[in-house]
């Protein structure tokens, strides 16, 4: 009797039951063929690359899980820029490390983010003052509706805060991503106050690429946000909740009602982006809080972790408790950032 392979082996949370079928794709053509075959058989498809943004049910996935293992980085100079095309399955931090080594500026503050390059436009990945949409040039995309591959530019992708056309949309599969980076040994202007303080510079200044990368990696390690097999605080899906964006009047009402001023940042359309980590902590959930083998990270309140004996059910119960606690205190509903597979919150 064959033993089902648990999807927990392929997620950073180390959670998730078996898939009905597991296929590995190392080339773009193989990836397209695997998806096409499953679609022809009307089987559900789950794409698994770095597994850093997936919360998979303990029952697993009743369909075909495709391990995206495509790789490769190609660069073409374009004036003062370089166009860098990266296969969807390529390890993201390896891309950043290469960019820094080559003197390609624009993604250095996205260092240490686990997962694959193909996932970055899906989430419009961002951290420490940089976002993928700022350097995104194009992506080769499979349209599962007709089996055709197309090239999408920035205007096609509906980028927003932790959002894109591809998020929660099974129609399109990113096969590769092309980034437009600046040929420059110095970073893009430092925007994030925490990064600037750690660097000892003012917001808006630039620093050598290697210094920016090293500083961000240090900050992320301090929050348990760089994968470490010896540290259960890194057995997470990164930030579990998206920083909520509310309108100015709602923010003023929160301040008036609670007598507290949540940590906040300007958002588009005169909105206010709140710190989900601040909301969680001030709603009474301390670092390390948890039970049943899962807990809030001991380093960062925004990460929910598997301490080694947890289950997806236990993790989602903890997430619901945190979400409901924040809603009760501040009237703000936190939304999960990871993709929930065969599960709900």
Catalytically active residues, by annotation: 162, 239, 337
- β-pair type (19-25, 245-246): unpaired
Q: 176, 87 in Cβ contact below 8 A?
A: yes
DSSP track, 219-284: HHHHTT-S--TT-GGGSB-S--BPPPEE-HHHHHHHHHHHS----EEEEGGGEEEE-HHHHHHHTT
Distance in angstroms (rounded) separating the CA atoms of residues 263 and 260: 9
Integer Rg of the chain from CA: 20
Q: How far apart are CA 345 and CA 343, in angstroms?
A: 7
Helices (H) and strands (E) in the chain, counts: 8, 19
With CA atoms as reference, report the closest residue to 105 among 200, 193, 179: 179
Q: What is the number of other CB atoms lying within 10 angstroms of the CB of residue 197?
A: 13
Q: Which residue has the tokens 């980085």?
A: 73
> Is the Cβ–Cβ distance between 53 and 337 less than 8 Å?
yes
Segments of 154-216 assigned E as strands:
172-183
Angle in degrees, 0-180, between the axes of helices 312-330 and 248-258, rounded to the nearest 10: 80
Q: Tell me the C-alpha distance between 88 and 139, whole Å.
A: 10
């Amino acid at each position: 009797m064959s033993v089902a392979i648990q999807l927990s082996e392929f997620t950073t949370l180390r959670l998730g039951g078996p898939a009905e079928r597991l296929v590995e794709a190392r080339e773009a053509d193989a990836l397209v063929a695997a998806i096409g075959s499953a679609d022809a058989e009307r089987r559900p498809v789950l794409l698994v690359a770095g597994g850093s943004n997936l919360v998979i049910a303990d029952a697993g996935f009743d369909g075909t899980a495709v391990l995206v293992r495509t790789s490769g980085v190609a660069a073409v100079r374009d004036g003062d820029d370089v166009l860098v095309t990266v296969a969807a399955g390529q390890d993201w931090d390896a891309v950043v490390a290469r960019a820094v080594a080559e003197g390609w500026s624009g993604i250095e503050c996205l260092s240490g983010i686990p997962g694959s390059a193909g996932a970055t436009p899906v989430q419009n990945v961002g951290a420490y003052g940089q976002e993928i949409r700022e350097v995104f040039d194009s992506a080769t995309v499979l349209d599962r509706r007709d089996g055709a591959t197309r090239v999408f530019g920035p205007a096609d992708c509906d980028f927003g805060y932790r959002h894109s056309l591809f998020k929660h949309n099974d129609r399109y599969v990113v096969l590769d991503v092309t980034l437009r980076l600046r040929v420059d040994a110095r970073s893009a202007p430092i925007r994030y106050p925490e990064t600037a303080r750690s660097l000892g510079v003012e917001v808006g200044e630039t620093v050598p690429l290697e210094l920016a990368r090293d500083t961000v990696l240090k900050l992320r390690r301090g929050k348990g946000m760089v994968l470490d097999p010896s540290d259960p605080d890194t057995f997470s899906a990164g930030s579990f909740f998206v920083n909520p964006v509310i309108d100015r009047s709602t923010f003023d009402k929160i301040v008036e009602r609670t007598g507290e001023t949540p940590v906040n940042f300007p958002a588009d359309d005169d909105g206010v982006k709140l710190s989900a980590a601040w909301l969680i902590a001030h709603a009474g959930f301390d670092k390390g809080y948890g039970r049943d083998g899962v807990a809030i990270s001991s380093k960062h309140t925004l990460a929910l972790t598997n301490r080694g004996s947890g289950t997806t059910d236990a993790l989602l119960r903890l997430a619901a408790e945190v979400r409901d606690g924040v809603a009760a205190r501040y009237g703000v509903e936190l939304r999960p950032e990871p993709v929930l597979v065969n599960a709900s919150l």
